[in-house]
Amino acid sequence: MTSAKLWGGRFTGATDPLMDAFNASIHFDKRLFEADVLGSQAYAKALARIGIITSQEQDLLVNGLETVLNEWQTNIFVIQPGDEDIHTANERRLGELVGNVAGKLHTGRSRNDQVATDFRIWARDESKKLLIYVKQLISATVERAEKEIDVIMPGYTHLQRAQPIRWSHWLLCYAWSWQADAQRLEEIIDRMNVLPLGSGALAGNPFNIDRELLAKELGFKNVIQNSLYGVSDRDFVAELLFWASLTMIHISRFSEDLIIYSSGEFGFVTLSDAYSTGSSLMPQKKNPDSCELLRGKSGRVFGQMSGFFMTYKGIPSTYNKDLQEDKEPLFDAVDTLAGSLQITTGVLSTLTIHPENMKKSLSIDMLATDVAEYLVRKGVPFRETHHIAGAAVRTAEEHGCTMDKLELSDFQQLHPAFSQDITEIWNFEKSIENRSSLGGTSRATVLEQIHKLKEWLNIN
């Protein structure tokens, strides 16, 4: 096999060495080595079916490609200076192994439909791994929520104490976010799983290649129906980068809560030593570095998405070299997500909670809404009860005490519907149990959430 460029026949002059380096992608697209080999093996079989190559040549090509794959997997593949990209490198090495028959493999195929196929195979397979990590995170969250269902804590809005809730209810808030992430990823995997191979450079394959059989061979559910679209579509990259950004935002928000809850001012949780570091100056410090890094990496992933979107928006139809810029952002985002999801699972699984500190942070004023609801149950319109409950809070402040220390007469001055049973309001557990509508924080409804998530995860 000659070392000349695959596209060099029309050119007589040498390219600028700087342009060669600028144009090359082998330093990052070598990650596609397995997908490229699998696609080429399938294509060799398809060529044999239509008589372009013999069955003996097919076997020679398929076996030679298997050797190429093994060299990549065992880290003995040697990239040569002329290896512009993963396709060039693999074809060059195949030629060294099997001779001139390697030149028949590219019949009717372009690097345009080849790279589009390789990248979809890689993205599909990596997405399936990410889906496993997301489900492991959800499973760990559900397991913890079930075990610690009787722990109660303050719920917050605007970072102000609002109403009492179950710790498990807070945990499941994120479990449901991650379930939505998992469902979105499943949809993206399904949409991306269509085959571009057989589109040629842009106009289609001239040898009547059997694309349906190619799709079946490579695990695609269908073929892309338009060759122009086949070589140029990178919506699956855009979708995956958006998915990665949104999933990292959910991880970031979870991390932010844990950073707050692990602070000395809250003391609700302590992160495991495995996911914390100390200060180089202050020996008493235990820093939530894992959560801070997770929070920070969400910005990194979003940056990869925004950068690719700005590239993608200006590309005219069919393949343009700008699309070489699709891989590094997705490679980085996938790597970041793979690590972040596993670290988040580790942080969540190993942290220690302090139920006594959570309970001590509950305050009677958090039951002001329960006072309003008490009056609603006695027939007073809610708009009135909200105002009356606020007046009760103000009266307690004026008396220098909490609402549960007010006399019945103090309440009855606000509204005659108050009676001795107002004392039953001052119970955080009862307040929580009153939130028994579907999706609420009562024990039964939290257990129902756990049941539904376990059912979705196929956990017995």
pLDDT in tens, 384-408: 999 999 999 999 999 999 999 999 9
User: Can you tell me the distance from the alpha carbon of 114 to that of 40, in angstroms, rounded to the nearest whole number?
Assistant: 8
Which CATH number is 355's domain given?
1.20.200.10
Which CATH number is 95's domain given?
1.10.275.10
Which CATH number is 409's domain given?
1.10.40.30
- Mean pLDDT across the stretch 148-155? 98
* Whether residue 134 is found in the same domain as residue 277: yes
* Whether residue 96 is found in the same domain as residue 123: no
- Mean pLDDT across the stretch 372-377? 96
What DSSP character marks residue 411?
H
Residue 381 lies in a domain: yes
31 contacts: CB under 8 Å, gap ≥ 6: 86, 122, 327, 331
* Whether residue 63 is found in the same domain as residue 116: no
CB 92 within 8 A of CB 83: yes
- Mean pLDDT across the stretch 15-25? 76
List, in sequence order, every beta strand (DSSP E) within 32-159: 152-157
* Whether residue 23 is found in the same domain as residue 88: yes
CB 64 within 8 A of CB 41: no
- Mean pLDDT across the stretch 155-159? 96
* Whether residue 153 is found in the same domain as residue 229: yes
Tally of structural domains, the chain: 3
User: Can you tell me the distance from the alpha carbon of 135 to that of 175, in angstroms, rounded to the nearest whole number?
Assistant: 9
The predicted structure's pLDDT at residue 320: 94
* Whether residue 36 is found in the same domain as residue 183: no
- Mean pLDDT across the stretch 449-453? 98
Which pTM does this prediction carry?
A: 0.93
* Whether residue 319 is found in the same domain as residue 395: no
* Whether residue 415 is found in the same domain as residue 349: no
* Whether residue 134 is found in the same domain as residue 184: yes
Q: Considering only CA atoms, which of 60, 59, 88, 90 is closest in space to residue 77?
A: 90
User: Can you tell me the distance from the alpha carbon of 262 to that of 20, in angstroms, rounded to the nearest whole number?
Assistant: 52
* Whether residue 191 is found in the same domain as residue 268: yes
- Mean pLDDT across the stretch 293-306? 97
Residue ending a domain, choose from 62, 88, 107: 107
- Mean pLDDT across the stretch 296-304? 97
The predicted structure's pLDDT at residue 199: 98
pLDDT, averaged across the chain: 94
Q: pLDDT for 226-262, tens place per residue?
A: 999 999 999 999 999 999 999 999 999 999 999 999 9
The predicted structure's pLDDT at residue 17: 76
Q: pLDDT for 92-137, tens place per residue?
A: 999 999 999 999 999 999 999 999 999 999 999 999 999 999 999 9
Residue 44 lies in a domain: yes
pLDDT > 50? residue 7? no
pLDDT band at residue 319 using 50, 70 and 90 as cut-offs: very high
Residue 413 lies in a domain: yes
The predicted structure's pLDDT at residue 12: 53
By CB neighbour count within 10 A (0-12 exposed, 13-18 middle, 19+ buried), where does 377 fall? Answer: exposed
323 contacts: CB under 8 Å, gap ≥ 6: 232, 234, 315
Q: pLDDT for 174-223, tens place per residue?
A: 999 999 999 999 999 999 999 999 999 999 999 999 999 999 999 999 99
The predicted structure's pLDDT at residue 24: 84
Q: Considering only CA atoms, which of 103, 89, 110 is closest in space to residue 60?
A: 103
Q: How many CA atoms lie within 13 A of 128 on its CB side?
A: 8
pLDDT > 90? residue 4? no
User: Percentage of residues in the chain with pLDDT exceeding 70?
Assistant: 95
Residue 252 lies in a domain: yes
User: Can you tell me the distance from the alpha carbon of 66 to that of 301, in angstroms, rounded to the nearest whole number?
Assistant: 35
pLDDT band at residue 14 using 50, 70 and 90 as cut-offs: low
Neighbours of 7 (CB within 10 A): 11
Residue 219 lies in a domain: no
Q: Is 354 a catalytic residue?
A: no
Residue 3 lies in a domain: no
Residue 207 lies in a domain: no
* Whether residue 292 is found in the same domain as residue 318: yes
Q: Is 326 helix (H, G, I), strand (E, B) or coil?
A: helix
Structure-model confidence comparison of residues 6 and 356, the more confident one: 356
Residue 210 lies in a domain: no
The predicted structure's pLDDT at residue 276: 85
Residues forming a β-bridge with 353 = 269
- Mean pLDDT across the stretch 343-369? 97
pLDDT band at residue 13 using 50, 70 and 90 as cut-offs: low
CB 87 within 8 A of CB 114: yes
User: Percentage of residues in the chain with pLDDT exceeding 90?
Assistant: 91
Residue ending a domain, choose from 49, 83, 107: 107
Task: Give the range of the structural domain holding residue 54, as residue numbers without chain letter.
Answer: 8-107
The predicted structure's pLDDT at residue 282: 60
- Mean pLDDT across the stretch 261-287? 82
CB 86 within 8 A of CB 26: yes
Q: Which of 3, 279, 317, 436 is catalytic?
A: 279
pLDDT > 70? residue 278? no
Q: Is 279 a catalytic residue?
A: yes
Residue ending a domain, choose from 360, 376, 410: 360
* Whether residue 346 is found in the same domain as residue 437: no
